Amino acid sequence: MKELSKQNIEDLLVGAKIMGVGGGGESESARPLVQEIYRKKKTFKLIDPEEVPDSERVVIVGRMGGGITEEQRKKVENLPRIKERPDFLAFRLLSKYIGQEPYAVLPIELGAGNTLAAMYSAAMLDKPTVDADCASRAKPEISISTTNVAGVPVTPACLVTPFGDVLYIERVLSDIRAEDMLRAVAAASGGICGISRCPMDGSVMRRAVAHNTVSMCIEIGKAIREAMKAGKNPVDATLEVVDGMRFFEGKVSSFERKEYGGFRWGDFSIRGTGNYRGHNLKVWYKNEHLVSWLDRQPYVTCPDSICVVDGKTGLGLSNGGSDFYKGRQVVAFGVKAHRLFRTKKGQEIFSPKSFGFAMKYTPMEQLV
């Protein structure tokens, strides 16, 4: 177990935004959490998944939600909001519900917002965060999880809305059913709710998660910082850390976004420059980047990560704000999916077919 420094956290925010692949929560929402932890003289602790005792419980903590319609937004804009963070409250309530104090907290995914949300809940109760997550990237649905592939039940789960509504799910037919039901509540509650789920023993957790991914994000941020200081290419530095494959460079030529159903949906196009001049890359997202086409032919897709970063700074870009403006020079690179998502069951849970696309998943190293 190690205590993270302030520089570690800054590097983590940079790396987690890249591995959030367009989603995973915003850095702006994470910084107030970091400041509160330091203001309260708390610390962020990280523990290797191999160090969690076999019989100790680990609980997943994060936020779920996304885009909603203007009508849904107006319905809740005047409702009184609770002061406590919904994800932190969900964690405490689920701990009470299962009758066992969790040993550590596990991030639901990688992403500046969601990874720090889990770490905040852990730090507030002086617990460590497991150096792992449930996807080795960000993903749009809670059913898309390495725990689901590994057969670990999503329940019991606790969801808390920004208005203090509390829902427990003790039993559910499947992770997909849990996603559909909880997403509906999130969409009816301003778009974002806090969730804690999937309590599991350390021995179970180790076979059901992506290991050492939080520290990987810290290493990404450190590599970019040092590369920029030395006048080197920050994208190359990131590729070395994640063993990634650069597959496109160019300027953003269009960006579309719609918000409804608790998700952000859309696509963007990049017109190639340099070695990619004369070519076009299109990327479709549902919160996160999921499918791409090179010159209208299927290209890199989920579960492999499609990372799109600024061409000069190497910093990650979000689908939720104004990062994808026309003319911005960007680089797209891929990172191999976690091994669980490349299994037959993993493909049933997370592939282009999961989102209605007829194309078959082809590992990125066979394409790039």
Q: Is 113 within 8 Å of 27 (Cβ atoms)? A: yes
Same-domain status, 258 and 204: no
Structure tokens at 358: 């007829």
* Structural domain includes residue 224: no
DSSP 70-120: HHHHHHHTTS---SS-HHHHHHHHHHHHHTS--SEEEESS-SHHHHHHHHH
User: Given 177, 211, 245, which residue is the final one in a domain?
Assistant: 211
DSSP 244-295: -EEEEEEEEEEEEEEEETTEEEEEEEEEE-GGGTT-EEEEEEESEEEEEEET
Q: Is 209 within 8 Å of 131 (Cβ atoms)? A: no
Q: Tell me, what CATH number does 23's domain have?
A: 3.40.1610.10
Question: Across the beta sheet with 57-65, what order do the strands follow?
Answer: 2-3, 45-47, 129-130, 104-107, 57-65, 192-201, 157-160, 166-169
Same-domain status, 169 and 288: no
User: What's the predicted TM-score (pTM) here?
Assistant: 0.97
Provide the β-strand partners of residue 104: 58
Same-domain status, 352 and 320: yes
Instruction: Count how many Cα atoms sit within 13 Å of the Cα of residue 239 in the half-sphere of its side chain.
Output: 15
Beta-strand relationship, 157-160 and 166-169: antiparallel
- Overall domain count for the chain: 2
* Structural domain includes residue 223: no
* Structural domain includes residue 227: no
Same-domain status, 310 and 165: no
pLDDT of the residue at 26? 86
Walk along the chain (368 residues) and give the pLDDT tens digit of each residue.
999 999 999 999 999 999 999 999 888 889 999 999 999 999 999 999 999 999 999 999 999 988 999 999 999 999 999 999 999 999 999 999 999 999 999 999 999 999 999 999 999 999 999 999 999 999 999 999 999 999 999 999 999 999 999 999 999 999 999 999 999 999 999 999 999 999 999 999 999 999 999 999 999 999 999 999 999 999 999 999 999 999 999 999 999 999 999 999 999 999 999 999 999 999 999 999 999 999 999 999 999 999 999 999 999 999 998 999 999 999 999 999 999 999 999 999 999 999 999 999 999 999 99
* Structural domain includes residue 259: yes
CA distance 136 to 198: 17
pLDDT of the residue at 343? 98
* Structural domain includes residue 221: no
Same-domain status, 187 and 238: no
Same-domain status, 202 and 277: no
- Residue 89 belongs to domain spanning: 2-211
Beta-strand relationship, 157-160 and 288-294: unpaired
Separation of first and last alpha carbons in the chain? 38
* Structural domain includes residue 222: no
Q: Is 306 within 8 Å of 283 (Cβ atoms)? A: yes
Same-domain status, 60 and 207: yes
* Structural domain includes residue 347: yes
* Residue of 115, 133, 137, 118 whose CA lies nearest to 12: 115
* Residue of 360, 326, 355 whose CA lies nearest to 344: 360
* Structural domain includes residue 97: yes
Same-domain status, 76 and 133: yes
| Residues written for the chain | 368
